Amino acid sequence: MREKNRGLALFTFLIFLFLLGPLLIISVTSFEPGTVLKFPPQGFSLRWYENIFEVEMFMETFKTSMIVSLAGNLLALALGIPAAYALSRFQFKGKSLLNGVFISPVLIPGIVMGFAMLKYVIITYQLPIYAGLLVGHTVLMLPFIIRVIASSLSNFDFAIEEASLSLGAGRLETFFKVVLPNIRSGIIAAVLIAFLESFNNVDISVFMTGPGVSTLPIQMLTYVENYFDPTIAAISVLLMIITAIFMFIIERLMGLSYFTKR
């Protein structure tokens, strides 16, 4: 029995090493003082973290990524909250089909989705680059918004809503004053998850960007093609820290059990 437990512990350790090892290597190499990415590093320096803020293209693409992610998040919320409410609150014909349509952007490979949007949305309607990015990222974030908010609504007692309606409140007033405050943590978690998915996206963004307009992940790929210094490792560490902070907030708001119930 002890040998089995030791074997399981060793197997678990190897799995974690396989998953976290590359992240640890990237984190360590970001402090390399030299001009070439090396592991193990030959010293300790923060020069490449400073270089992030000195390279103009990183700052410009960071602003673009922020604008697209935030604006797309607002649009996805405007569409996703009513959709999640309708799917959770009512029973109607075609509900399963509609739910599948909303979730489909997650199931379809990103490269296929990006190419399809480029061909049938961007080229067909001659959308500007920023508009195309906004549409693409809104579609990308919508399934996460709907999924998380629907999970939150599954724990909401709709009898409270009925009580509010019976006391004379209108349906819209009840929705904004009773339903939304009770799923506030779910909405915040949905926003954070969707933001991370949008901000770090590559496969769809690569089809939506164009001359003079790019997102931070795409610019990072372009930078790697021309330079081999630890700047990208430094950016990666910062993005990992931001992601870890967001996931900690999501866990505190909802807990991982919310994402395994439905």
Residue 38 φ/ψ, nearest 5 degrees: -135, 150
Query: Given this model, what pLDDT does residue 21 score?
Result: 80
Number of domains in the chain: 1
Q: Is residue 32 part of a domain?
A: no
Within-domain flag for 217? yes
CATH assignment at residue 151: 1.10.3720.10
**255 belongs to a structural domain:** yes
Token duo for residue 128: 């500007």
Chain mean position to CA 103: 15
184, with CB counted inside 10 A (0-12, 13-18, 19+), is exposed
Confirm whether 4 is domain-assigned. no
Residue 158 CA to residue 34 CA, distance in Å, equals 61
Residue position matching structure tokens 């935030």: 70
Entry pTM: 0.80
pLDDT of residue 1: 58
How crowded is residue 74: how many other Cβ atoms within 10 Å of its Cβ? Answer: 12
d(CA 148, CA 150): 5
| Domain that includes residue 75, residue range | 54-260
- How many whole angstroms separate alpha carbon 179 and alpha carbon 243? 29
Q: Let me know if residue 33 belongs to a domain.
A: no
**From first to last of its 262 residues, what are the pLDDT tens digits of the chain?**
566 677 778 888 888 888 888 888 888 888 888 777 777 778 788 888 888 888 888 888 899 889 999 999 999 999 999 989 888 888 878 778 888 888 878 788 888 888 888 888 888 888 888 888 888 899 889 998 998 888 888 888 888 888 888 888 888 888 888 888 888 888 888 888 889 888 888 888 888 887 778 888 888 888 888 878 888 888 888 888 888 888 787 777 665 544 444 4
Residue 6 located in a structural domain:
no
Q: Which of 131, 73, 159, 144 is nearest to 104 (CA)?
A: 144
